[in-house]
Structures are given as C-alpha cells and as structure tokens.
Structure 1
Amino acid sequence: MMKRNKLMLLTLSMMLLIPLLTACGGEAKQNEQERTLRIGVLYGGGDEQHIRQEYTDIFEYMNGNISIEIVPAVDTSEYNYSDSAGPDPTEEMRKLLTGANPVDVAIVDSDSFQQYVRDGQFKQLDALIQKDGFDTSDIIPSVMDTIKMMGDGNIYGLAPTFSSKALYYNKTLFQKAGVELPTDSMTWDEAFELARRVANGEGKDRTYGFSFDQYRWGTAFYGVADYAAPLQLRTYDDKAEKMAINTPQWEKVYDTIAKLSQDNIMPGRKDDDNGGSLGEGRYNPLEHDLFLSGKVAMMMNYYSYTSELFDISKNAGKIKNYQMPEWDVVTIPHHPEAPGISSGMRFDSIMAINTQAQNPDDAWQFVQFINGEDWAKIKSRSTYELVTRKSFIKPKEGMNYNIQSFYAMKPAPGIPAEEKLHQKYRNLWIVKNSAEELFKKRIEGKLTTADMLKQWETKGNQLLPMIKKNPNKSIFGDEAVQKAVYGD
C-alpha cells in the first residue's frame, strides 16, 4: 500500500513537471536556433580575414548559434585593374541598408556615419543602452562627445577603437640645446617657437625643430591640412564651382608653414642636403625616418608609431653606431581660436544598427560586445589603434610615455558641405594637390604667399568644371587636366 502511494505521488509530480520541462525546452530550442547576422562594411572582397580576426571570430565563438556574413559595399578587387575609381562606397552602403536583404549592422567611418544618421538610416541606441544598463562611463569623454555631436546629441553608433595623433619629441635634442621640453596644451605659436630654438646645425648635421611626419622625403605642404583643420576653412564653395582659398585666413596659414620650411625649421627646403647615413653606405631601416635618426626634435604621428619605437628599442643594439633617442609625447598643439581641438583623432570603425535590420536583437548584442569591457581588455594588447575604454589604455609593456596625450584633445569637426562634395566628386583631390608646386616656389622665395593663393585660385577654377564633368573616372592623366595643374 505504501509503495503504491509513493508511486502515485511520483507519477503526479512528473505530470506537473512535464509542462514546465516542455516550456523550458521550447525556450532553449528557440534560443539555440541558428541565425545569421549580416554586417556591412564599406570596403572588402576576397579576403575578409582582417574584419573577422578583429571583430567577428570571437563573437561567433561565444555565440555558436549565430553565423556572421560580411557584406562589402564595394568589392575593391573588381577595380584593381580599372581606370575607374569605382562606385561611391557611401552610396553602395546605402543600398545595403535599404535593399531587399538589408544588413543588420554597418561598420563605417565617421564621414559616412554622419550622413546615414542625418538620413535616418541608423537606429538610436540611447534607449537600448539605458534598458540593458550598458556602461558607457568608461568610454573616453572626447569619444562619447564626438559620437553624440555627430548624432545631434544622441547616440546612433559606438566605436570600439580610434586612431589619434600626438606630438612626439626627442628629449635628448632638447636637453643638448638647453631648451625646455614641450608640454601638453601648447598653442601652435608656442610649439613653433620651441622648434626654432631647438633646431640646430647645417647641411648633413642639421636637426629640424618640427615635422608633420617622420619621412625624410615628405613635404610640409601635406601637413597644412592637419594644422588648419580646427579652423574650419573652406577650399571651395558649396557647389564646387568656385575656389574659396584666396582669403586672409588661408594666407596666414600657408605663410606660417612656408616660413618654417624656408628657415629650415622643418623639412622642405630645396637646397637642403640633410641626407646623412647612419650605416656607412649600408642599408639602414632608420635612414629615412627623421625622428628615429635623431634629425627632428618634434614630430606629429599616430599612436601606431609607438609600435615602431617599441620594435626599434628591442633591436637598437643590432644597428651599428645607433643610439635610440629618449622620447615622450604631448598633446597636438591647438589654435587659440579653437582651444582644446586638434585634427589628430579619427574613427574608422563606428558600429551602428540598421533601422531596417532583420535581426536587430543579435545586432545590438554584437554592438554591445565589441564595445564592451571584455573585448577592450583583449584587444588593448594587440590592436594598432587605441581602444575607447579608458581603463584598458596603457603604454606598451616595458614602455613609459604620456599616453593620455593621445586622447586629451577633442577632434576637429569636419565640414559637412565639403565632405559631401568629396564623396560626390572624388577627383577633387586633384584641386588640392595642384598647389604643391606653387607651395615649393613659395618656400624657394619665387612667389609670395598672396601670389601663390591667387595662382592656386586660377588653377582650381579651371579644374573644378573638368572634375564635375568626370566625378569618378580617373582623369589625372588627361591633357587638359595636366595643363591646368602644371601649366604649359
């Protein structure tokens, strides 16, 4: 009798438990259902290894039921052997966002990100962040401020990494010259005054005070863009029909940089003979690096350059007659008209959710993970960029430098009207580059800065209609274009 009662109780318990197990099993089965997350990228084709290694492999490993499909807006392999510049990646990505089989997530740069936000093609993330308690307090303030600025005060995407520049300086050269070391938050005038005081020597023994990059064959002309970006100066009008370069503000910019080159404070003078070799005729990997060869006291460069310095420090003893410079970094100088703003920060991988995403839940899970603490902790040791979470930004192992200088400044905002023009007319680079020869003549004293800008204005006004007629097809070799750029 007792056994029978126990059996009845067991049977009753199982009957009550079965519906619960069935419900749980159904829920588990639903959670384990195979799903695809489509991720759009601006450029790709053929080799997806970088995107997968950097972002998706670890997510797929941790979410075995989700498979990632990488969808490039432009397959660059199709245009390697063509004279066409290829389609506009921003427009092609827009097709991926709005087409019959839209991508769920887009990984884009800051320029195109702003366009998609304005067009309402990215989902606002503020409510999701609040609902899930996703912690953004550890993300660098200048990064979050920039993301919000691009979204008119709201968050439409998150960036796990960023590139930024700082001002590298050679302590040894400053100490030898008896000049105080650079500091954070200098103005450009203060930095250039230090550059004049620390520059020294003649010919092969010349050491420069400042350079916009480390390359011996570089010119100051291309550094002007970095110097001028925070000032928000226009190159042409909103329709790319007329040049806007011939102004007192631009004259001051180019005159400042030209004088520094002309006075041999920075590289660029034609008669400069600073080509000394460290290896006595033998190839030397440092020979064309002005900073590593001790030929420049201050130099702008990206955070990734610390990796080169790290490698050289480990192998300096193998290079004959070489002494590794003692170095550190400070923030990029700023203009008094734009305090605390520099041109050195860039976002190449902002992650956003498509408003038409077919799989929005997994899309948000992916964006959270790649912008979360676990991913930042892992990638902070391996990426050539900086992670955006402050807690995991540290100098490379065994090194000691002012790493905060890479993110202390706010990035210079772009000029939306010109950004749109460059996406629509990708040959506009010809207009900007057409002034390089004129700038060299200015450094050589053959032109005044005012004359240089007048001639550039004339060149640009000739080139703009040609470019608008052929916005994407490569036209640099065209005879009329060559004549406008170089003259008869």
Structure 2
Amino acid sequence: MKKRNKLLLLTLSLMLLVPLVAGCSGESKQNEQERVLRIGVLYGGGDEQYIRQQYTDIFEYTNGGISIDIVPAVDTSGYRYADPAERDKNPDPVGEMRKLMTGANPVDVVILDTDAFQEIVRDGNLKQLDPLIQKDNFYTSDIIPSVLETIKTMGDGNIYGLAPTFSSNALFYNKTLFKEAGVEPPHDNMTWDEVFDLARRVANGEGKDRTFGFGFNRYPGDNAFWSVSDYVKPLQMRLFDDKAERMTINTPQWEHVYGTLAKLSQDHVLPGQNDDMESSGEYGPLNHDLFLSGRVAMMLGYYGYTSELLDASKHAGNIKGLNMPEWDVVTVPHHPEAPGISSGMSFNTITAINTEAQNPDDAWKFIQFINSEEWAKIRSRSSHEMVSRKSYIKPKEGLNFNIQSFYAMKPAPNNAVEINLRRQANNLYTVESAGYELFDKVIKGKMTTAEMLKEWETKGNALLLAIKKNPNGPIGKDDDIIKGVYGE
C-alpha cells in the first residue's frame, strides 16, 4: 500500500513537472524568437526588399532566433507625398543616423558609406572590432590589403567596421585601336602624363570619324571639366577653404591642371562639347558609349562595366554598327606626387556596431557573417561590386582580363571637411557651374587658363558669400550679391 502511495505521488509530481518544463522551454523559445537585431541604414523606407535580399535574408534564415528590423536614417518613401518645400530641405543622413544611434531605442548595427563612416567613427560612436576579431579568430588575412588599410586609416589604425564589398574602377583600353595605330598599349602603374602621351599618339581622324585617345568616362560631352575633382583628389586640392568662404583656385597648381586638360580638349584628345558626336538618331547601345562604339581608345570605368561588355559581345549580332572591341584593363593612372593612389575605390556597405547597441552579441554575429568567406563566395557573382575577399574575386565566366587592376591601387582619402560643407550647403555646386562656363571659353580660345582662374576666384568668392547667407536656397545671377560680378 505504501509502495502504491509513493508511486502515485511520484506520478503526480511528474505530471506537475511536465507543464513546468514545457512552460520553461516555451518561454526560452519565445525569448529566443524575441531577440531583435536593429540595423540602421542611411536611406530606406517603404519596400525593404532590396536590402533584405542583399544582406539580411540569409542571415535571418540561418539564425532562426533573430528577427531583423531595418531602420532608415532618412525615410525616402514619403518624398513623393511631401510638400515641395519639405522635399527641398534635404535632411542630413549622417545627422539622422546619429539620432538613431543615440536615441531611446538605438540601432545595433549600422551600414554606412565611406563618407558617413569617416564622420561617425570620428564621433566615437562605433565599437572597436579588433578585440572581437582576435577573440573569435575571425579570418581577415584574405581581405584585400587596400580595403583593410583604408578602413584602418579612417579609424586611426584600428578597425571599427568591415566592408564586405567595394566599388572600384580601372583604365579600360581598346587593344584593336592600339594595334592599328602601332602604339604600345598602356600597362599597370602608369602616371597621368604617360597616359596622356599615349592618348595623343593613338588619337586620330576628323569630325564624326574622330577617335579620341582618352575619356574620363564613356559618355559624350564635356569629359574633362566635371571629372577634375576625381583627377586631383589624390593631390588633396581644394576649390575653397575649410569654411567655404574664400576660393583657393587661383594657384600655379590649379593652372597646371586646367591648362593640361584644356589643351587635351582643344586638340581633341579628350572628347568635349564642341566635338562631333553625331548619331543616327535611332536609340541604340552605341549612341552614348564612346568605348563600345570604338570612339575612345582608353577610358576610366567601374567594374560593373565588364558585365556590360560581356552582354554586348553576346548580342553583337543584334547591335547595328557594332565592331566589338578587344579590350583589357590596367590600373588607374597616378600622380608622381601621390604614387599608387587613385580616387576610384569607395565603400557603400561598411558594417559596424553601435557603442550603444542593445544586442551587441548578435550584432557581431551579423558582421562576421556578412564579411565571411561563405558570404563572399555567394556574393562574388555580383555584376556591380567586388567582394573584399581576394580568393573569391574572379572574372565572370566568358571573360579574361587583368582583374587585379581594380584593387591594386590605394584609394585617396576623402576630405571630411568638404564633405560636411557640401552636406550643409547643397547649393555649393553653383561654384563649379561658374567655373564650367569659364573653362568652355578657355577651350574656345577666348581666354587663357590664368584669366579663367582669376575670374573664377572673383565670381566664386561672391557665390560663397551668397551661399553663406542662404545655404540651401536658390542662388542665381539676379542675387544682389553677385549681380555686379556677372555684369548685370
């Protein structure tokens, strides 16, 4: 009888224990499901499909206990419905991101471009990753040196973020045109003067049959002026001072830059507005592509252009007038004063952890995953950006070119001061516009480069004064401050 009572008590105890265990298990599972990882991005809102497909869906699938919230610093989904005056305000994405990182419900991870990362890492709002990398033996030796060194440079020698992909350019050249001209084609590590010399030698023809030697891009029109900022970026040259109050354009160094480019444009080595770009009038892939149409022997282009050339070769039979060029790439030219440095590399997805992250463990898990070898292997099929892990960088099937040239150079550092100025005053572009009108006069022989820079300095100073008073409003020739400058 005693044994029966003991057995009954044991059975009742087990029956009571089962729901408790089940309850604890359910509670544990519920807690696991409630782990939220908040990821801040600079722009977004509305449909999050792109960023989820690119970065978070696979992670969420392989980490069932984590739910991801995408939080945009600037929600662009409402722009089309906003009052025009509100749309013109152009909210500062970096300022808004700072709010997401320090507010009542801070994001855990941030995905930043080069400019934003450079500013926020300086604020001290990003967690240093070096200790985590060492603790977990996270493999970084395969990351391209120029990528890792650039991130370290922005963090004063420390790693505050990792970039799974990067964007970069190289110098494309048409092998056929060089063979026909009997000129040795370009090679890696050339200076700008060497490339310009090659461009002069390979350029030939007249009018609509003219073959240009070099282009800063593939598009017809003013190829030189609007590319000057990239050309001089490794030299850290500036149009105006750190307060955007005075022009710094009227110097011998700037005179050499614009004099060189003006002469190349005048001699039709570079394509310009005054060159004959006549097309058939019918839409076609050759109309706005000087390289594919065989009208420029060398040009700067981004990695994604290799896929366009591959597509063109596959459909060459359907493209009227196409004589598919035989091509290859070499490194972007450099200045002797800044050897091995170019302006072609940039980062759009630097992943970092907020110092005030509520879920730092999952944040680090996400960053490890998105910068892992496994993810690089999958993402290496991308057509537009390159993965940062060297082992998975290969030309797409059907292509064979010097792919190392896209990441052999070190990127020129961004000028954080100027970036901040342009974000605070979005009408600073009017200063460049004033220079464009003057540069056109130089090309047409109506003024010298020295005269251009002197007049640009005067007009630019007047514009900067007007912009200072109205940083985000329209600045026109009827503004009282600049009427006299334009002679009106």
The two structures have a TM-score, normalised by structure 2, of: 0.91
Question: In angstroms, what is the RMSD of aligned CA positions?
Answer: 2.5
Question: Hey, what does 1:454 align to over in structure 2?
Answer: 454
Give the letter aligned to residue 154 of structure 1: N
Question: Hey, what does 1:241 align to over in structure 2?
Answer: 245
Question: Is it true that 1:179 corresponds to 2:169 in the alignment?
Answer: no
Question: Hey, what does 1:472 align to over in structure 2?
Answer: 472
Q: Does the 8 Å CA contact 1:462/1:484 hold for their aligned counterparts?
A: no
Give the letter aligned to residue 357 of structure 1: A
Give the Cα separation in 2 of the matches to 1:399 and 1:375. 23
Question: Is it true that 1:145 corresponds to 2:144 in the alignment?
Answer: no
Question: Hey, what does 1:4 align to over in structure 2?
Answer: none
User: Could you list the per-position Cα deviations for residues 256-291 of structure 1 after superposition, in whole angstroms to 9, with x for gaps in the alignment?
Assistant: 111110110011152x224254xxx54322122100
Q: Which runs of 5+ in 2 are unaligned?
A: 1-6
User: Could you list the per-position Cα deviations for residues 384-407 of structure 1 after superposition, in whole angstroms to 9, with x for gaps in the alignment?
Assistant: 111111011110111001110000
Q: Does the 8 Å CA contact 1:236/1:245 hold for their aligned counterparts?
A: yes
Give the Cα separation in 1 of the matches to 2:437 and 2:393. 42
Question: Is it true that 1:376 corresponds to 2:376 in the alignment?
Answer: yes
Question: Is it true that 1:257 corresponds to 2:261 in the alignment?
Answer: yes
1:487 to 1:225, Cα distance in 2 relative to 1, 3 A:
farther
1:476 to 1:379, Cα distance in 2 relative to 1, 3 A:
farther
Give the Cα separation in 1 of the matches to 2:118 and 2:125. 10
1:486 to 1:296, Cα distance in 2 relative to 1, 3 A:
farther
Give the letter aligned to residue 341 of structure 2: I
Question: Hey, what does 1:133 align to over in structure 2?
Answer: 137
1:423 deviates by 2.4
SS of residue paired to 1:384: coil
Give the Cα separation in 1 of the matches to 2:314 and 2:391. 27
Per mean C-alpha deviation after superposition, the further-off stretch among 192-201 and 448-457 is: 448-457
Q: Does the 8 Å CA contact 1:90/1:423 hold for their aligned counterparts?
A: no
1:467 deviates by 1.5
Q: Does the 8 Å CA contact 1:90/1:112 hold for their aligned counterparts?
A: yes
Question: Is it true that 1:343 corresponds to 2:347 in the alignment?
Answer: no
SS of residue paired to 1:298: strand
Q: Does the 8 Å CA contact 1:85/1:473 hold for their aligned counterparts?
A: no
Q: Does the 8 Å CA contact 1:459/1:484 hold for their aligned counterparts?
A: no
User: Could you list the per-position Cα deviations for residues 80-113 of structure 1 after superposition, in whole angstroms to 9, with x for gaps in the alignment?
Assistant: 5624142111111111111111111111111121
1:429 deviates by 1.9
Give the letter aligned to residue 273 of structure 1: D
Question: Is it true that 1:275 corresponds to 2:282 in the alignment?
Answer: no
Question: Is it true that 1:118 corresponds to 2:134 in the alignment?
Answer: no
SS of residue paired to 2:104: coil
1:348 deviates by 1.3
The two structures have a TM-score, normalised by structure 1, of: 0.91
Give the Cα separation in 2 of the matches to 1:156 and 1:37. 19
SS of residue paired to 2:395: coil
1:434 deviates by 2.1
1:37 deviates by 0.9
Per mean C-alpha deviation after superposition, the further-off stretch among 321-330 and 339-348 is: 321-330
Give the Cα separation in 2 of the matches to 1:485 and 1:159. 46
1:220 pairs, out of 215, 220, 224, with 224
Give the letter aligned to residue 228 of structure 1: V
Give the letter aligned to residue 92 of structure 2: D
Give the Cα separation in 2 of the matches to 1:425 and 1:226. 20
Give the letter aligned to residue 362 of structure 1: D
SS of residue paired to 2:414: coil
Question: Hey, what does 2:3 align to over in structure 1?
Answer: none
Q: Does the 8 Å CA contact 2:220/2:272 hold for their aligned counterparts?
A: no
Alignment of 1:18-417 (within 5 A): 29=29, 32-80=32-80, 82-83=84-85, 84-268=88-272, 270=274, 272-277=275-280, 282-417=282-417
Q: Which runs of 5+ in 1 are unaligned?
A: 1-6
Give the Cα separation in 1 of the matches to 2:487 and 2:299. 34
Give the Cα separation in 2 of the matches to 1:310 and 1:357. 44
Per mean C-alpha deviation after superposition, the further-off stretch among 291-300 and 67-76 is: 67-76
